Structure 1
Amino acid sequence: MGNPAGREGGFIVAAGYPFVLGAGAVVFLAWLAGWNALAFLGALTGLFFLYFFRDPERTIPGEAAAIVSPADGKVILADEVKEEKFLHGPAKRIGVFMNLFDVHVNRAPVAGVVAASEHIPGQFLAAFKEEAEKANERQATLLLTDGGQQILVVQIAGILARRIVSFCRPGQRLARGERLGMICFGSRVDVYLPATCEVLVKKGDRVKAGETVVARWT
């Protein structure tokens, strides 16, 4: 286990360091030049980046049958679909929309091995639109549990979110609730579950990555 590209014990994820350091450089240079207004704006921007890239610890449920949310945010989808590219059949889908103020670190819904990880180029439509799931840029991560079940996590970019960061690689084992990636500046994460799973959330519910039990194995 372990996410070398992610965060292990720090306040923010590693992907946030360039943003925070860049804002700090602006503050320093503006202060040297006597541009106080720009220095103040840079400081506010730096504080926002610290807030946005925060990575709080989560209490992972111990229930063996629990499947946890991959993202913080609001459930915008809880339906049944056919997922042909990775699962090749019917699946239950839960979609979580992250606004600009949600924690953007995404976590593994179940324990398992990363069977596939694929970056798919695309557009940057509003992530809550139905067509975004196929049209937008996205990162697909397929997890294979010890019991042989497959779960697909799809990180979908949006209008503001132009960068998807994956912390995992094929063959890597993830614990339930372990960090698997993040999307910079808002967007959406869909999780596709076997059709036999019991979904416990509905459209409009608020969830937390790694903590909220969104479904159970049956």
Structure 2
Amino acid sequence: MTIHKEGYTTIAVSLLFIFIINAVVDYKFADLTWLRWFIYIFSFALFVIVLQFFRNPSRTFTTGDNLVICPADGKVVVIEETEEGEYFKDKRLQVSIFMSPVNVHINRNPISGVVKFFKYHPGKYLAAWNPKSSTENERTTVVVEHKNGTPVLFRQIAGALARRIVWYVKEGDNVQQTEQFGFIKFGSRVDIFLPVGTKVNLELDQVVKGGITVLAELS
């Protein structure tokens, strides 16, 4: 396991904060042993939490020309037909994956193909499970066209804690299935929009792994 590059600055700032607060407590409250130990334990727990959030575990990825692979770790919170109003402007099959703060937050391409559309939207920070988060929160929209001509839309959505969305793709890029296309910090959601009638291999509340779990099969 390694640490993702998006975590370097946050980890450095966390270490600085931990060093300062421990130094202050040791200097100002040297006689309060219970307080010093409380701060030591708190500091250790904080560092572990931050470190695990930015972990990049080694994985054996699942690939397949006709497969749509889960773009993120998390839990399936939506499987439904809905109107996609930004790009397709018609009815699509939506699958949404909620990423809690303890999940790996790397986002991976669900299919290989060409990026036909990309747009970043500034917005609110509603809870990621709120249905309005798909259209009102800070988010990115990516559309990749499969070699068989099928377009798949996936959207990074910031949550109540997520304050930064990072993306590594742009229109015209050729992307490969399971390669990283972005990262969201501290809790978030990823929506995927597929053609109506696509065979989905997931169930509501199922826990999935990005780059490993098969989400759907394209016809």
Bin of the TM-score, shorter chain as denominator length: 0.7 to 0.9
**In percent, how many aligned pairs have the same letter?**
33
Return the TM-score normalized by structure 2: 0.87
Q: Give the deviation of 1:196 after TM superposition.
A: 4.0
> In structure 2, what is the equivalent of residue 16 of structure 1?
7
Q: Does 1:185 align with 2:176?
A: no
| Partner Cα separation in structure 2 for residue 124 and residue 31 of structure 1 | 32
Task: Look up the match of 1:101.
Answer: 102
Which SS does the other structure have where 2:79 is aligned? strand
CA 1:13 to 1:90, structure 2 compared with 1: closer, same or farther past 3 Å? same
Partner of 1:161: 162
CA spacing shift, 1:162–1:57, aligned 2, 3 Å = same
- Cα distance in 1 between the residues matched to 2:55 and 2:213: 19
Deviation at 1:116, TM superposition (A): 2.0
Contact 2:63 2:177 in 1 (8 A): no
Structure 1 position 31, deviation (Å): 5.6
Which entry has the higher C-alpha Rg, 1 or 2?
Answer: 2
Matches within 5 A, 1:43-192: 43-192=44-193
Query: Which amino acid is the alignment partner of residue 18 of structure 1?
Result: T
TM-score between both structures, scaled by the size of structure 1: 0.87
Q: Tell me if the contact between 1:115 and 1:143 (Cα under 8 Å) persists in the aligned partners.
A: yes
- Alignment of structure 1 residues 31-46 onto 2, 5 Å: 34=26, 41-46=42-47
In 2, the alpha carbon distance for the partners of 1:127 and 1:32 equals 37
Aligned mates of 2:19, 2:130 — CA distance in 1: 41
8 Å Cα contact 1:164-1:182 kept in structure 2: yes
Residue deviations 1:171-210 (CA, integer Å, cap 9, x gap): 2222111111111111111001122421111211111111
> 1:50-93 deviations in whole A, cap 9, x for unaligned?
10011123322233321111111111101112213112322111
Once structures 1 and 2 are overlaid, which stretch shifts more, 89-98 or 168-177? 168-177
In the aligned structure 2, how far is the partner of 1:182 from the partner of 1:209?
12
Query: Contact (CA 8 Å) 1:27, 1:40: kept in 2 or not?
Result: no
Output the aligned Cα RMSD.
Answer: 2.0
> Counterpart in 2 of 1:5?
none
Name the structure 2 match of 1:26. Answer: 17
Tell me: CA distance 1:21–1:110, structure 2 relative to 1, closer, same or farther (3 Å). Answer: same
Distance across 1 between alignment mates of 2:79 and 2:45: 37
- How far apart, in 1, do the equivalents of 2:170 and 2:48 lie? 31
**SS of equivalent to 1:181:** strand
